Amino acid sequence: MIIFLCAELLKVSVVTFFLIFFDFKSELYKKFYYFCDGHIIKNTEMKQDTKDLILRESFKLFAWKRYEQVTVSDMERVTKLTRGAIFYYMKNKEHLFIEVLDKYMFSGKDVPVNDGQTLLSYIDLFIEQLKKTKKQMNLLGVKNMNFAYANIANQAIYYYPDYAKIANEKDKEDLNNWEKVLQYAVRSGEVMDTIEVETVANIFYRTYTGLSNQGIILDDGIDLEETYKTFLGMYNLIKLK
């Protein structure tokens, strides 16, 4: 620790020396600045890589185990880092769990709706996003993403403050996206104007959530081909001939 502090003080002293005695427009100053800046950027990138490693490996642990079963020794084993290094980035186990959920449960899975988007194209986009997520999970070593999400969600009720509130808001946002695209479909004449938009949106969304729940007990999770066929069947019932 003393050696580390001395080294840091030496770096600060060298930087201060250059700032005081060299013109900031000089070539020597510029070279020194870019050298230091490059090391700062590289160090920042290394820190982010380490944090991503901790979150990724911890996600896989929480995906299959209960919160109480995940130990610091488990984290050390899968990350190849010491507990000191792990908790340099995370205050404690609960903080780590929250960060895992923020990264893998609440981000990167939205399917946005563009103005005037057709219902059929939204269905295609929705399925493509699920395929992308499923592939990413497989690359992480998570074979059944639905089981993983369900297992983590069950623990989050106890260990993630306001999880239920956040999950309900996310649920409403997803349902609202289906309502938006159905409203566009009605106005454009893609589907019948006699449908109850809120009801049909709820049917589409709850069909997906139901198939996702069924996927928990399947080897590979939700069957996306079956999901797509189901969506197309529902689409054909309301589209204008």
- More confident: 176 or 43: 176
Using one digit for the tens of pLDDT, what is the confidence trace for 69-88?
A: 999 999 999 999 999 999 99
Q: Average of pLDDT values for 117-124?
A: 96
| Cβ-contact 223, 215 below 8 angstroms | yes
pLDDT tens digits, one per residue of 195-236: 999 999 999 999 999 999 999 999 999 999 999 999 999 999
pLDDT band at residue 114 under the 50/70/90 scheme = confident
Cα distances (Å, whole numbers) of residue 215 to 39, 40, 99, 198, 219: 46, 45, 25, 26, 8
* Cα–Cα distance, 217 to 71 (Å, whole number): 26
Range in 25-39, 148-162, 211-225 the model is least confident about: 25-39
Indicate the domain borders of the chain: 26-100, 119-238
- Res 46: pLDDT: 65
Instruction: Tokens for 126, please give them.
Output: 């929705």
Arithmetic mean of pLDDT over the chain: 84
Residues of the chain above pLDDT 70, percent: 80
Average pLDDT over residues 31-35: 42
d(CA 111, CA 128): 10
Amino acid type, 40: I
- 26-100 homologous superfamily: Tetracycline Repressor, domain 2 (1.10.357.10)
Question: What pLDDT score was predicted for residue 9?
Answer: 41
